[in-house]
Chain A
Amino acid sequence: MDFLNNFQLNSLMFLIPSLFMFCCGVYGFLTRRNMIAMLISLELMLNAVDMNFVVFNRFLCPGQMDGMFFTLFAIAIAAAETAVAIAIIINAYRISKDIDVKDLTKMKF
């Protein structure tokens, strides 16, 4: 089969799904009102970025590992960030019995 014979993996093939994932994250972050759902969208975006690091590392400078390390640290930071965010969400839930962002407007002017 011609298609199969000429098929070559290139960077775009990974970047486009990653971009798609990122845009899904953006969409979710903009539309969802549940704070945990927003956090999930945030994780999607973060994951897309991590993937980009790896893809660029692998395709553009294959001999080095900097992109991989960046991803490694980003995962660690994401874990930390999620832990704190969830602590805040639980605290907010305790105060307002809800985790809808619309209700969390006490900090505005």
Chain B
Amino acid sequence: MESVGSIIAYIVIALSIMVFSVLAVTTRKILRSATFLLFALFATAAVYFMLGYQFLGGVQIAVYAGGIVVLFVFSILLTSHPGDNSSKLESKKKTVGLVGAVAMFVVCAWSLISRCSVIKELPDLGQTQLPDMKQIGADLMSSGDHGYLLPFEAISVLLLACIIGGIVVARKK
């Protein structure tokens, strides 16, 4: 039994995920597409908050919405002229892509539903068992069980490599 507020929140989130996803891939204006992506990402962040992962939701908004989408917008502004529509899709290609996506959806949904063991009710956890900041920080820096020090270091190197790579690739010759 959920509260009415959470039910409404769930419905709004689920609907906005689906609607904004569809809009993001169907609109012909590329800047709008990026905007709809931003909304879809916000909706995802809302899911994280709803499930109790406040930190993750914060990261989602900060990195995805605040970083990546801004990057998209900049690059769109750099590479396309304002008011430009992307060319209309051929209907054949559209149909074929739609068939592929729907087939994929059917297969995956069918496998999800037929494997009933993954369908679980939301376990009710006390406030203490939800991940808190202190725990996350300790795990990120620990090298023991459930410690993520090595990936943390690896990703730092990866990010450095990306910074350098990005500069090298994009700079003027």
Contact = CB atoms under 8 A, between A and B. Distances in A.
B141 interface: no
Nearest to A75: B63
Contact of B118 (A11, A73, A76, A87): A11
Contact of B165 (A10, A17, A84): A84
Interface in B97-129: 97-98, 100-102, 104-105, 108-109, 112-113, 118-123, 125, 129
A44 B122 contact: no
B101 A23 contact: yes
Q: Give the interface size bracket for B toward A.
A: 35 or more
Contact of A12 (B17, B53, B72, B112): B112
Contact of B121 (A9, A68, A90): A9
Interface string B115-159: 000111111010001010001100110000010100100010011
A73 B155 contact: yes
Main secondary structure of the interface of B (DSSP, over half): helix
Interface of B: 1-2, 4, 6-7, 10, 13-14, 17-18, 21-22, 24-26, 30, 33-34, 37, 40-41, 44, 47-48, 51-53, 55-56, 59-60, 63-64, 67-68, 71-72, 75-76, 78-80, 86-87, 89, 93-94, 96-98, 100-102, 104-105, 108-109, 112-113, 118-123, 125, 129, 131, 135-136, 139-140, 146, 148, 151, 155, 158-159, 161-163, 165-167, 169-170
18 contacts: A8-B122, A11-B120, A15-B118, A17-B13, A17-B17, A25-B21, A27-B97, A28-B24, A30-B96, A30-B100, A31-B89, A32-B89, A50-B60, A77-B155, A80-B158, A83-B162, A87-B167, A87-B169
